[in-house]
Amino acid sequence: MDLDLLKGFYSTPPLWEHQQFNLRQFVLPKVEIDSLPPLKLYENLRLGHQMEYVFKTLIQASTQHELLFSNILIEEGKQRLGELDFLLREMSTKQVVHVELAYKFYIIDPDISEPIYRLMGPNKRDMFHTKLDKLKSKQFPLLYHPSLKSHWKALQIEPTAINQAACFKAQLFKPYRKENVHIRPLNTACLSGEWIRFDDFNQVAFAKWQFYIPKKQQWVIKPQENVGWMNHFDTLMETNVRMLKENAPMLWAKRPDGAIEKWFVVWW
């Protein structure tokens, strides 16, 4: 599972390429994943923290970057303002780079005209445009907070000389069986599956399908064959419990021909 998590993170495309929204996309260095030692992850660690650990592992395995700091807390008195995710040095140029990491699962609502407003978490509580605003207006400006002067003095650099980039990876899910969903300038390679409403899932057409509800850590990886598959009826029962809690689960959906798809079933 740990190796699958590394591979899943590494192979997930960036949500945009090069520079968009006045944010440069950080390009991960090439790493031989199969040669890496096993990850030591606590299962109760939330997914965002697991992704930070995976990112750190990949950077430390690379000869292209040196990891200077990670998770630098920014505090003002007793108030915690936030943190800087990663500070790296590019070995070939000695350029220092501040990287903010994000790994997201977004459904696409094609009824909204602007692509950046179409992306939202499956429970409609995590919007891409608000994350983008937070990166630009809060997280990146923290680099210049006065409390970090000791860090810059130790590194003998000026914060104004530090480049900034986002490592923003995402899996996107389009409406079930809807073609021609336009998301440019976002990266169409991020399309990973589909989303479906519960009432549409509760149809006899899926009677011969099989389903598996992955743990959140498994959301990152490619669907696996050797899992505890359930029939459609049992999956409806399990999914309905989550619907009542307004919690949209991911499903691995195995068609009668054996092909496996990734879905979200939404409650709204």
Question: First CA to last CA across the chain, in angstroms?
Answer: 32
Final residue of a domain: which of 116, 141, 172? 172
Q: Where is the domain boundary, 113, 141, 172?
A: 172
Domain termination site, one of 127, 148, 172:
172
- Beta strands at 191-197 and 260-266: parallel, antiparallel or unpaired: parallel
Q: Judge whether residue 189 has pLDDT over 60.
A: yes
Same domain, 153 and 115: yes
**177 within domain boundaries:** no
Tens of pLDDT along 28-50? 999 999 888 888 777 778 999 99
Q: Could you tell me if 128 and 214 lie in one domain?
A: no
Q: Is residue 151 part of a domain?
A: yes
The mean pLDDT value for 41-61 works out to: 90
My answer on whether 256 and 223 are in the same domain is yes
Residue 103 lies in a domain: yes
Q: Provide the pLDDT for residue 80.
A: 87
Are 163 and 208 in a shared domain? no
Q: Which of 66-80, 97-111, 221-235 has the lowest mean pLDDT?
A: 66-80
- Across 197-208, average pLDDT: 98
Q: Do 89 and 152 fall within a single domain?
A: yes
Q: Is residue 178 part of a domain?
A: no
Q: What's the domain count of the chain? A: 2
Query: Which pLDDT belongs to residue 1?
Result: 56
| pLDDT at site 3 | 87
Domain annotation covers residue 161: yes
Range of the domain at 193: 184-266
The stretch 80-90 carries a mean pLDDT of 95
Same domain for 32 and 140? yes
* 97 and 58 share one domain: yes
Q: Which residue has the higher pLDDT, 1 or 203?
A: 203
Confidence tier at 73 by pLDDT (50, 70, 90): very high
Task: Specify if 179 maps to a domain.
Answer: no
